[in-house]
Amino acid sequence: MTDEKPKAVLIIGATASGKSALALDVAERFGGVIINADSMQVYAELRIITNRPTPAEEARAPHRLYGFRPAREPYSTALWLADVAREVADAEARGLLPVIVGGTGLYFKALTEGLSTIPEIPAEIRAHYRLRAETEPAEALHAELSRRDAATAATIRPSDPQRIARALEVLEATGRPLADWHAQKEPPLLSAADALPVVVEIDRAALYRRCDERFDRMIEAGAIEEARAIDALHLDAALPAMRAVGLPPLIAFARGEVSLGDAAERAKTATRNYAKRQLTWIRNNFISRNDCFTKEMQGTKSEINLFVRKRLTAFH
C-alpha cells in the first residue's frame, strides 16, 4: 500500500464469514457504497437462498449490483467487471467510498489483475466439458489436458475439475491454450496501490457451524417458497443461477423427491464444501501472493473493523 488514500475497500471471505456485516459497518462509518462481488447475489429471484442483504440493511447504506439480473440470463465475470467499473466511477463522482464485498474470487482477481480477452465459448462445447467434469474423474481429465496443453495443466491441481474443464473448453473452442489467453489481459480496474484489501477469516469449525445455522434461518425466512418459485419458472438447469448453493436440494424437496431433512442435510453439506473451496482458493490466490491481497485478518469482527478504521481514519 502507498501513503495515498485507497480508492476502494475490498472485502473477501467465505460464505457466512461475516464479510457483509463488516462491509455495512465500513460503509456507514466512512460514507461508502457497498458493491456486490458475489456471482449469485446478482439474481433477482434468489434473495433468501443467496443470503442477500435484507431491505433493512439496504436502507442503511447504498447497495449496488444486488438482485438486478433475472435468473434466466447468465451473468459472467466480464459483465460484472464492466458493471463494477461503472459503479466505482459513479461512487468517485459522488464522493463515496466503494466497498466491494463478496466471495467470488474470480471477480476480485479480474478486478485487480485485469481480465483475459477469451472469446465466448460455444454453448455445446461448454456443456460437453462441464458434463465430463461432473461424470469423469478429475485426474483423468487432467491427464487429457496434460497431453493436449502441458503448460496450462501444470498450473491446475489434478483435483480441480472445474478449472480443468475450463482449460479444455477454451482449447477446444479457440485452438489456443488457456495460458496464452491469460497472458493477454486488459489493464486492471484497481491496482495494488488503489485498494485496501481485507481477507475475512474465522475458525473453520465455527464457520461450518455458522453455515448450518444460517441455512436453518433461511428455511424460516422462506427459502422453500423461493425455491418453489424458481422451479415454477422452468429454467434451464445449466443456467448459473440454478446452481446456487442449496437451491437444487430445495427444489428436489419442493417436487416431493426428497424429505425436508434430506434436502437440508444436502444443502448444508454443499454449503460447507463451498466454504472450504472458497477458503482454499483465497489462500492459494491471495494470501500467499505478494500483491494487494497480503493482509490476512484473523479474529473477531471488531478486530477486523479496527484494522479498516485505522487505515481509513488516517485520511479523514
Stretch 43-50: mean pLDDT: 98
240 and 252 housed in the same domain: yes
Range of the domain at 175: 123-182
What's the pLDDT tens digit per position in 221-239? 999 999 999 999 999 988 9
Task: Provide the CATH number for the domain around residue 143.
Answer: 1.10.20.140
Domain end, chosen from 182, 205, 230, is at 182
pLDDT tens sequence across 5-15: 678 999 999 99
Q: What are phi and psi of 242, to 5 degrees?
A: -75, -10
* Cβ neighbours around 100 below 10 Å, total: 28
Binding residue numbers for substrate: 15-20
Residues annotated in a binding site for ATP:
13-20
Q: Up-side HSE of residue 198: CA atoms within 13 Å toward CB?
A: 33
Q: What CA dihedral angle connects 97, 98, 101 and 107, to 10 degrees?
A: -150
Burial of 172 (C-beta count, 10 Å sphere; 0-12/13-18/19+): middle
* Closest among 127, 97, 79, 71 to 9, alpha carbons compared: 97
For 79-137, the pLDDT digits (tens) are 999 999 999 999 999 999 999 999 999 999 999 989 887 888 898 998 999 899 989 99
Q: Which residue has the cell 418459485?
A: 229
Contact yes or no for 211/268 (Cβ under 8 A) = yes
Q: What is the CATH number of the domain that holds 236?
A: 3.40.50.300
Question: Band of the pLDDT at 297, cuts 50, 70, 90?
Answer: very low
Counting the structural domains of the chain, the total is: 2
Which residues partner with 34 through β-bridges? 63, 99
Are residues 200 and 158 part of one domain? Answer: no
pLDDT, one tens digit per residue, over 16-43 is 998 999 899 899 988 999 999 999 999 9
Residues 102 and 215: their CA atoms lie apart, in Å, by: 18
